[in-house]
């Protein structure tokens, strides 16, 4: 078939045009800045903190195109490990219990030798976790005092659960190193040992209802949640604790006939002063502007609302400037105790 000169020019123009369009597309892609990747220290695999960290990352990453931030959730040993990872810069966000935050800020407990963690910064208080003592129905345990001589797991070193267990035992007049048959396992091993009858009881600081506690109630031996009473001295000594209740009916298979009285601490989201203001501003804004999605993914976020006053409960580290900036824009009241002089307008 004969090709005219005019048609030939059109055939030549088509690949040239495609080449130009391809070059423009590549140029646009090349000039778009890659997302900044940051990390959040969460908790043990399949635990509540792990779930929380993954869902925070999920929401943040859904808005990566507009914020330029990508969040990676890392498993960890828990609160203490996360605060230490913030100090070393291994993570930029971390989930920690309010008691561990308090100790870190004041150079107490795990940080007695290292001293106050002056770069630690708060973002928000997320939800209350309750110090939960789960005992086998066949263990003869009805009070904390009954733990004497029993096989009791208090959790791994570096976890908030462990320190809460030690506090509760000491307040009840028990020496946690001598008066119990001490066990310190991760959550999965703890549950497995309890289900097999190798533990009489275990501590677990968690929001309720908890899938892990629910799983334990299916043990053939039966399960009883033990009230932590007569330990009001803890409320005076440690201001981050508060009286809380696990409502009767939270675990239908449990042997309890009344609600369980216990102590609660706030789960908090933390960062470091070394993390840029814009990064924390975008993370905080994304969390609050998408609170409904958070609540769908993670029910404990039911408390994460702009109008709630308790979102600052449990915070002792100063607010990060990025979080403070968002709260001011949103009209959220911030206690003066959480605002540093250099953050004020």
Residues of the chain within CATH 3.40.190.10 domain(s) are 36-127+267-343, 129-266
250-259 contacts, C-beta under 8 A, 24 or more apart: 250/208, 250/209, 251/209, 251/213, 251/214, 251/217, 251/223, 251/225, 252/217, 253/214, 253/217, 253/218, 253/223, 254/217, 254/223, 254/224, 254/225, 255/137, 255/222, 255/223, 255/224, 256/224, 256/225
pLDDT recorded at residue 88? 97
pLDDT recorded at residue 302? 58
pLDDT recorded at residue 305? 53
Whether 309 shows a pLDDT value over 70: the answer reads: no
Where does 36-127+267-343 sit in CATH, by number? Answer: 3.40.190.10
pTM of the entire predicted model: 0.75
pLDDT recorded at residue 11? 42
Residue with tokens 């309750």: 130
- At the fourth CATH level, the homologous superfamily of domain 129-266 is Periplasmic binding protein-like II (3.40.190.10)
What are residue 181's DSSP bridge partners? 151
CB atoms within 10 A of CB 344: 8
pLDDT digits (tens, 9 = 90+) for 239-267: 888 889 999 999 999 999 999 999 999 99
pLDDT digits (tens, 9 = 90+) for 107-155: 998 899 999 999 999 999 988 889 999 999 999 999 999 999 999 999 9
Radius of gyration of the chain (CA): 26
Tell me if the bond preceding 209 is cis, omega within 30° of 0.
yes
* 22 confidence band (pLDDT: 50, 70, 90): very low
Residue with tokens 């190193």: 177
pLDDT digits (tens, 9 = 90+) for 199-220: 999 999 988 888 899 999 999 9
As a whole number, mean pLDDT of residues 34-49 equals 88
Return the percentage of the chain with pLDDT > 90, whole number: 60
**Which residues lie below 8 Å from residue 296, measured CB to CB, with a gap of 6+?**
none
């Amino acid at each position: 078939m004969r090709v005219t000169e005019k048609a030939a020019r059109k055939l030549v123009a088509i690949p040239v045009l495609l080449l130009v369009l391809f070059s423009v597309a590549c140029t646009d892609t090349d000039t778009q800045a890659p997302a900044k990747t940051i990390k959040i220290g969460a908790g043990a695999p399949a635990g509540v903190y792990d779930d929380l960290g993954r869902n925070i990352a999920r929401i943040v990453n859904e808005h990566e195109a507009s914020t330029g931030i990508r969040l990676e959730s890392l498993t960890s040993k828990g609160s203490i490990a996360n605060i230490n990872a913030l100090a070393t810069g291994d993570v930029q966000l971390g989930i920690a219990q309010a008691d561990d935050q308090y100790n870190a800020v004041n150079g107490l407990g795990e940080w007695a030798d290292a001293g106050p963690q002056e770069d630690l910064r708060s973002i928000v208080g997320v939800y209350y976790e309750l110090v939960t003592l789960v005992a086998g129905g066949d263990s003869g345990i009805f009070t904390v005092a009954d733990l004497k001589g029993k096989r009791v797991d208090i959790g791994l070193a570096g976890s908030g659960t462990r320190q809460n267990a030690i506090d509760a035992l000491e307040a009840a007049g028990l020496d946690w190193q001598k008066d119990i048959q001490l066990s310190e396992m991760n959550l999965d091993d703890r549950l497995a040992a309890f289900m097999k009858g190798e533990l009489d009881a275990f501590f677990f600081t968690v929001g309720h209802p908890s899938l892990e506690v629910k799983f334990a109630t299916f043990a053939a031996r039966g399960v009883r949640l033990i009230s932590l009473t007569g330990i009001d001295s803890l409320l005076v000594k440690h201001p981050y604790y508060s009286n809380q209740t696990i409502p009767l009916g939270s675990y239908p298979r449990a042997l309890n006939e009344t609600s369980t009285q216990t102590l609660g601490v706030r789960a908090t989201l933390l960062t470091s002063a070394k993390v840029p203001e814009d990064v924390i501003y975008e993370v905080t804004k994304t969390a609050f502007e998408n609170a409904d999605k958070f609540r769908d993914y993670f029910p404990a976020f039911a408390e994460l609302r702009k109008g709630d006053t308790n979102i600052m409960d449990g915070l002792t580290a100063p607010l990060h400037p990025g979080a403070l900036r968002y709260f001011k824009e949103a009209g959220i009241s911030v206690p003066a105790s959480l605002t540093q002089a250099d953050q004020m307008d």
